[in-house]
Structure 1
Amino acid sequence: MPADEVPAEIAAALNESAFGLLQLEGVNGIDVGVDEADEYTLRLLVSNPDDPPAGLPDSIGGFAYILVAGTPQLEQAGIPDQQTYGVPGRDPIMGGIQLGPAAIAGGDVHAGTLGCVFRDPAGLPVAVSNAHVICGAVGDAIQQPAPQTDPAPTIERLGSLQQCLAPDTPSLFPGGLVSGSFDAALCSVDGARTAEVGRIADIGVATAISSPRIGSVVRKRGYRTGVSHGVVEGTLGAYKAHNHDGSERWMLLGQVSIVMIPDLGLNPQGVWSRSGDSGSVVVNESNEIVALHWGGDGMRGYATDFAPIAVAFGLGL
């Protein structure tokens, strides 16, 4: 079930109601999923479905809705983790490994996941992650793995920040959150580092770039959690993205949600993601890259359709 098959009336009800509903305390998102009868339905992400927020409407644009537990949180890590392919100076560079800005601000290291290496319009290798993981000023040095000393060793340099796509549209409501459709960033891969385009650690080589479909089985490799498996359960989502301290950072529109498959054989850590997995690419069973993961709440992950990101950055495999 791709997003373009969602009935126009349901999509319109979501779009007309999303900003107002997201002003209610305890409402963290709204998207389109399917109900127990496998029919499209609107879903409200709330902190606790058993204790619904006050002021919820009886219907949304005339449509019934269901409550789902969800609190999207950006998953940038503060401490480098050695569970990574990112041994200093060891190549090749590939998706699913650790990276971070070279600068250590106030003693804090910021680390996330390098989603995948692509080719830019000139045919050069470039790495993709989240804006909230590596974005600062264009030209900033990016390290792989994330730096553990200041200054970071030259041997760990990955490249330079090239472009950022992050929410920057002012809120429609006074004091509200800025919004946008992307949390993505592009980094060069310096000639001193060798890279494997399309390869994702422990997953394999991506075959294509596509879009997520509701009901599709997917997986990702975050440098903290490793490979995890889930099912796409929501599309056209408008979600509040929270910082680690619980404060609201921005609103992301047109997103997807993924629920972990409750199988310890597939997910031995019992979560879809954890801090540090931000920037992972999500791939389907055909090894097509379909989304860019930016946040989670343990059981669920939240991500952006990768096809428009690829168009915006001019990426190919």
Structure 2
Amino acid sequence: MMPTIDELVAIKQQVEQHYIDQPGVTGIDVGYKEVGGELTDQIAVRIHVARKSDDIPADLRVPEEIHGAVTDVLERVYELHVTSLPEKSLLADAKHYSPLQGGVSMGPSRAIGGSIFAGTLGAVVIDNESQARAGLTNFHVAAVDATGQAGDRMVQPSRIEHGSVPQDEFGATLRLVLSDHVDGAVVSIDEDRQTSCDIVEIGGVRGTKTATLGMAVRKRGRTTELTRGSVDGISATVQVDYGEGLGVHTLRDQVSITAATSPDAVFSDHGDSGSAIVDEQGFVVALLFAGSGANTVGNPIASVLQELNVSMCTGGPDSHH
């Protein structure tokens, strides 16, 4: 009998540390096995590596089965999906949004190391402490690195899109979290700024859900705007380089998304960090923070809301204001 998804996750958890500690391994998850570059219906324990090679010693090779679970080896190197100048600047939505809403360009007012940075304001949330509306994005979008702190002012659009300081400032960092599960930030919204619980091109947020394998999802971000994909991996542990001062960080229980084959070749790119990943019914399932080629990784939304002490701001037909 084939193991169930829960059994596969348990097997993955047993062997996870063994593989994560190997050189060249970038992640491990439970998801669809790839054959000839195409995803199949078979669910496997997937080991992610920086580069596939035939020169691996026998004792380090991934066996075809682990405890009865089929395995797969994927070539993926994960990068934070933030963008900066003087780095290459990708095409982006440079609009100034009023009311402020999810899916739009944002970034710090300050320059960091002589560069300016941009990511995405993913969604409007409710701060559980003050009941005020706030903005949700990533730690590495609001803080960029170890020098970011609460009180740092933010602009919409980002300075890369010629957002100006202080005219386009909309708020300041309230809370920052970089943990085993979450790369998140909550940004206050100034009292004079109008807000909407909608996400551009997606509409009202109806609440949150747990991501499941095969679930169709979409996101709206600063760079690639509205894209579609599906959940191809769950219980993902990934290693991502956060740069000077923070180094390589391991995040667990993440959600892996693969781009829809058409019309979108990628689900996200640099500058889309912080986007809310939403299912077809308008429920948020994850917070986008990194990617590898056509694949994207997000923090499970339940962990994000819990660790940042916020609730989703919901609007639309089946919700209470």
Return the TM-score normalized by structure 2: 0.83
2:294 to 291, 299, 303: 299
Give the direction of change, closer, same or farther, for the CA distance of 1:40–1:151 in structure 2 (3 Å limit): closer
Task: Give the distance between the partners of 1:91 and 1:57, measured in 2 at CA.
Answer: 52
> Residue deviations 1:44-69, cap 9 Å, x none?
11234465755124244553311123
2:71 to 65, 70, 75: 65
Asked if structure 1 preserves the Cα contact closer than 8 Å seen for 2:137 and 2:274, the reply is: yes
User: Which residue matches 2:61?
Assistant: 56
Structure 1 position 227, deviation (Å): 0.9
- In the alignment, structure 1 residue 226 sits paired with structure 2 residue 258: no
Bigger mean CA offset, 35-44 vs 93-102:
35-44
Task: Give the distance between the partners of 1:260 and 1:149, measured in 2 at CA.
Answer: 26
Q: Give the residue type in structure 1 aligned to 2:284.
A: I
- In the alignment, structure 1 residue 279 sits paired with structure 2 residue 274: yes
User: Which residue matches 2:139?
Assistant: 131
Bigger proportion of residues as strand: 2
User: Which residue matches 1:43?
Assistant: 46
Structure 1 position 158, deviation (Å): 1.5
SS in 2 for 1:14: helix
SS in 1 for 2:159: coil
Asked if structure 2 preserves the Cα contact closer than 8 Å seen for 1:24 and 1:53, the reply is: no
Give the direction of change, closer, same or farther, for the CA distance of 1:116–1:241 in structure 2 (3 Å limit): same
Q: For residues 82-97 of structure 1, what are the structure 2 equivalents within 5 Å? A: 83-84=92-93, 86-87=95-96, 90-97=97-104
- In the alignment, structure 1 residue 103 sits paired with structure 2 residue 106: no
Asked if structure 2 preserves the Cα contact closer than 8 Å seen for 1:258 and 1:300, the reply is: yes
- In the alignment, structure 1 residue 314 sits paired with structure 2 residue 310: yes
Structure 1 position 12, deviation (Å): 2.7
Structure 1 position 154, deviation (Å): 1.9
Q: Give the residue type in structure 2 aligned to 1:6.
A: I
Task: Give the distance between the partners of 1:309 and 1:241, measured in 2 at CA.
Answer: 18
Task: Give the distance between the partners of 2:289 and 2:194, measured in 1 at CA.
Answer: 26
Asked if structure 2 preserves the Cα contact closer than 8 Å seen for 1:74 and 1:244, the reply is: no
Give the percent of matched residue pairs that are identical in Structure 1 and Structure 2. 26
User: Which residue matches 2:316?
Assistant: none
Bigger mean CA offset, 24-33 vs 10-19:
10-19
Give the direction of change, closer, same or farther, for the CA distance of 1:40–1:76 in structure 2 (3 Å limit): same
**Alignment: residue pair count:** 292
- In the alignment, structure 1 residue 181 sits paired with structure 2 residue 181: yes
Give the direction of change, closer, same or farther, for the CA distance of 1:295–1:151 in structure 2 (3 Å limit): closer
Q: Give the residue type in structure 2 aligned to 1:33.
A: G
SS in 2 for 1:283: strand
- 5+ residue gaps, structure 2, are 34-38, 314-321
> Residue deviations 1:241-281, cap 9 Å, x none?
13589x962111010101111112xx1xx211111010001
Asked if structure 2 preserves the Cα contact closer than 8 Å seen for 1:26 and 1:53, the reply is: no
Deviation beyond 6 Å, 4+ runs, structure 1: none
Return the TM-score normalized by structure 1: 0.84
Asked if structure 1 preserves the Cα contact closer than 8 Å seen for 2:156 and 2:163, the reply is: no
Task: Give the distance between the partners of 1:41 and 1:307, measured in 2 at CA.
Answer: 25
